[in-house]
Amino acid sequence: MKIRPVSTTLASFALAGAAALGLAAPAQAQISGDVVRVGIITDMSGVYADIDGQGGVEAIKMAIADAGGSVAGKKIELLYADHQNKADVAAAKAREWFDTNGLDLLVAGTNSGATLAMAKVAAEKHKLFISVGGGTSALTNEQCQPTTIHWAYDTTALAKGTGSAVTAAGGKTWYFLQADYAFGAALEGDTARVVEASGGKVLGVVKHPLSASDFSSFLLQAQASKAQILGLANAGGDTINAIKAANEFGITKSMKLAGLLMFINDVHSLGLKATQGMYLTDSWYWNKTPETRARGRRYFDVMKKMPSSLQAADYSAVANYLAAVKAAGSDDTDKVLAKLKAGKVNDMFMKDGWLRADGSMIHDMYLMQVKTPETSKEPWDYYNVVQVIKGEAAWTTKAESKCAAWK
């Protein structure tokens, strides 16, 4: 649709005028619809349901409960939906909530495709959008939007974390096992660049189809390369089955594995015996400080498992949003964004985090190594933090960025 009928344009002018008048009149009533509505759309039933899903919804419920269920004297309402890993379902749901339910903040759970689609809808409606689980760096790069905040991590941060730290620690030669689709290619490409920039060498890549039935033959090819590090540029079930086969075929005796996108749930389901010694980068780990432990235990009481970094980020994002609404005394997108940009975020998820012009929430990332079964003291005690990747070091640089808002 290029040509807009004159009548609707006039109508929108009239509406805008009315809205301006309405805003001008009572200065205190700045919460639209007298309710602050927070929504999360995520994968609640598919492959990513464990790392976010219902657990993410529960984490947000905790954030709302901790705010006392209300902000600026108005009730907080939570909506949640399953996008089934379909971008069109996600976008349609987001549109429905913005148009008919008066949604103020949309939190996007997992799946990069669905997240990119929802970010566009939110930008069109000029509503605040916080991505937690979608990893694609396009969200804050070529597809950045003024209303998008990327809260937890992106593929660039993962690549810089694992790629540079492992290479610096002596893992000079790499071979990649790459899932043969956009995400895998991006992750492999980003990491390979970082490895080479850090003085390492990429000996080869083998591409496997998504949800491959067996990894042994890909792994034998990787082993034949005699590389020191096997980078797993895949996710979820593919990563898990690759690690399992790597153990079975004794690949782990000659190569060290580096998971480029791994969550604590993956380690939990594989067990320490199969994952010990692996490197991975994540934005958060429950057993890090007394504060994170307290948060983890509280979540454990409800869900009977420890939170992933994403579920912690869900809590952090909504808690900070509500604090910003309180400080602004309004749920207006620009006013809340101004508050979020003004201060630093200090909570159990991040220290001195700040919101950059491209929408990236800048905070420390952690390179971790999986513990051996002997050194793990309790269930879910899985990682040693090997290195903290401080502040902006983990994220896209201004020179690399294609985001117009940050130029």
- Residues in contact with another protein by CB under 8 A are 45-51, 180, 206-214, 216-218, 220-221, 224, 236-237, 240-241, 244-245, 248-250, 265-266, 268-271, 273-274
- In the chain, the amino acid numbered 223 is Q
- In the complex, the smallest distance separating the C-beta of residue 292 from another protein, rounded to whole angstroms, is 22
Identity of the residue, 233 or 245, whose beta carbon is nearer to another protein in the bound complex? 245
Least gap, CB of 314 to another protein (angstroms): 17
* Smallest separation, CB 305 to another protein (Å): 9
Give the type of residue at 95: R
Please answer whether residues 386 and 279 qualify as being in contact, where contact means their C-beta atoms are separated by less than 8 angstroms: yes
Minimum distance, C-beta of residue 134 to another protein, in the bound complex (Å):
17
Length of the chain: 407
* Of 112, 64, 71, the residue nearest 90 (C-alpha): 112
Q: How far is the CB of 206 from another protein (least distance, A)?
A: 5
Measured from the CB atom, the residue of 34 and 180 that comes closer to another protein is 180
Extract the runs of DSSP E, i.e. beta strands, from 18-147: 35-42, 70-71, 74-82, 105-108, 128-131
Q: 268, 295 in Cβ contact below 8 A?
A: no
How far, in Å, are 65, 152, 192, 248 from residue 221 at the CA level?
Answer: 52, 34, 18, 15
> Which residue is it, tokens 């001008």?
24
Nearer to another protein, 231 or 236 (CB): 236
**Residue pair 122/98 in contact by the 8 Å Cβ criterion:** yes
What span, in angstroms and rounded, lies between the C-alpha atoms of 327 and 6? 40
Give the burial class of 58: count Cβ atoms within 10 A of its Cβ; 0-12 exposed, 13-18 middle, 19 or more buried: middle
CA–CA distance, 394 with 321 (Å, rounded to integer): 24
| Token code pair at residue 267 | 């380690």
Identify which of residues 156 and 311 has a Cβ nearer to another protein in the complex.
311
If the CB atoms of residues 8 and 269 are measured against another protein, the closer one turns out to be: 269
Q: Smallest distance, Å, CB 205 to another protein?
A: 10
Q: How far is CA 235 from CA 63, 65, 173, 242, 306, in A?
A: 28, 33, 22, 10, 20
Minimum separation from the CB atom of position 147 to another protein (A): 30
| The two three-digit tokens of residue 403, written as one number | 């985001």
Cβ at position 44, least distance to another protein in Å? 10
Tell me the closest approach of the beta carbon of residue 307 to another protein, in angstroms. Answer: 14
If the CB atoms of residues 45 and 397 are measured against another protein, the closer one turns out to be 45
26: which 2 tokens? 């009572």
Give CA separation, 337 vs 30, 57, 121, in Å.
15, 23, 17
Least spacing, CB of residue 160 vs another protein, in Å: 26
The Cα 225–Cα 296 span in angstroms is 41
Closest C-alpha to 387, from 162, 154, 159: 162
